[in-house]
Structure 1
Amino acid sequence: MSDTTMKRKGRCFVFGDNVNTDEIIPARYLSTSDPAELALYCMEDARSGFGRRDDLAGSIMIAGENFGCGSSREHAPISIKASGIGCVIAKSFARIFLRNSFNIGLPIIELPEADQFGEGDEVEIDFDRGLVRNLTKNKEFTFNPYPEFLKKVIDYGGWLSYAKAELMKEGA
């Protein structure tokens, strides 16, 4: 796989502080690990019907402090990624949610200015340059650019796929 430019552009869906994993994917829907099924119930307890919208592809989820707090289930970032969300931007993430997101290839960005985005704002993200542009409000914010390694993990769809591909290159 070659070096890639990583960008996302989409419409914002805004959530608040302390969104926990039970709100992201309620426990009553955990009888499956099928990403497509989990996507249907993404954010169900925070915004009923959210995962069944037909306009989520490529959109950007915005949140406040401590996004993904609660249990350590990987189902939460899987449901977000499978719903079509292109990136999650939050003021801060729970540590285990952050790790799980990168492990499954869901791009996330910690941005102290996450409250500068409104529902429906158009956003453009340049992961190489570390720029988030709110095109609706004509504002620009910076974050630490993704290192090449992390871009590859996301490009491969997660850590496991990346590791397998790298092992294949080495002939293991």
Structure 2
Amino acid sequence: MAWNSKVGGRVWKFGVNVDTDQILPGYAMAAPIDKLKDYALAGSEIPDFAQQVKPGDIVIAGDNFGCGSSREQAPVALKEAGTGLVIAKSFARIFRRNSINIGLPVLIADVVDKIGHGQQIEVDLKTAEITIIETGEKLQGQLLSANVLETLEAGGLIAKVRKQLHLS
């Protein structure tokens, strides 16, 4: 399947300091990988996120998204639940890297006060341009590096390395 640099969906809005325990609560850590999606954001201000999210929906938050522990399962839960992209004013470094490594796009952009919960947006990951569908307003995120785009296009770090080594 060809990679599409455009992601579009409904916005799920969160605040600041959304930590990995909110993204994937500790009690869910023993769940098999295919069940992690059922617990995505269960510890957050929207505890039924996993039951309502649709494929391609976009999480938007303020500063420090993914702070707390370095549990790799947190971005996996979001991706498996169908989240197409996470946009935040800033990310915890390890969460951001874990997300990219599994092929979950993350974009730095200060837009939490400019986009409403439930609005439809489209994001071009190559240009970091965010379009609010209802108004046509365009907002700018921080450009992703060529290395990050290449990793996301491959579907994650393991897939990228396999491709580079001609193993896939």
TM-score (norm 2): 0.90
Which of 130, 139, 142 is equivalent to 2:140?
A: 142
User: What amino acid does structure 1 have at the position aligned with 2:21?
Assistant: D
Q: Which position in structure 1 is the counterpart of 2:38?
A: 40
Structure 1 residues 3-152: aligned runs within 5 Å:
6-34=5-33, 36-46=34-44, 47-53=46-52, 55-152=53-150
Matches of 1:137 and 1:22 in 2, distance apart?
A: 35
Q: Structure 1 regions of 5+ residues with no counterpart?
A: none
CA RMSD of aligned residues (A): 2.0
Secondary structure of 1:9's counterpart equals strand
Matches of 2:108 and 2:74 in 1, distance apart?
A: 17
Matches of 1:92 and 1:33 in 2, distance apart?
A: 29
Secondary structure of 1:168's counterpart equals coil
Secondary structure of 2:70's counterpart equals coil
What is the aligned residue count?
167
Matches of 2:47 and 2:38 in 1, distance apart?
A: 10
Matches of 2:117 and 2:78 in 1, distance apart?
A: 17
Shift of 1:10: 0.6
Secondary structure of 2:110's counterpart equals coil
Shift of 1:163: 0.5
User: What amino acid does structure 2 have at the position aligned with 1:100?
Assistant: N
Q: Structure 2 regions of 5+ residues with no counterpart?
A: none
Secondary structure of 2:121's counterpart equals strand
* Deviation readout 1:58-109 (Å, 9 max, x if unpaired): 1110111110000001111111111101000011111111111111111011
Matches of 1:28 and 1:120 in 2, distance apart?
A: 28
Matches of 2:93 and 2:114 in 1, distance apart?
A: 23
CA contact (8 A) 2:110 2:141 kept: no
Matches of 2:128 and 2:47 in 1, distance apart?
A: 33
Matches of 1:78 and 1:31 in 2, distance apart?
A: 14
Matches of 1:14 and 1:144 in 2, distance apart?
A: 19
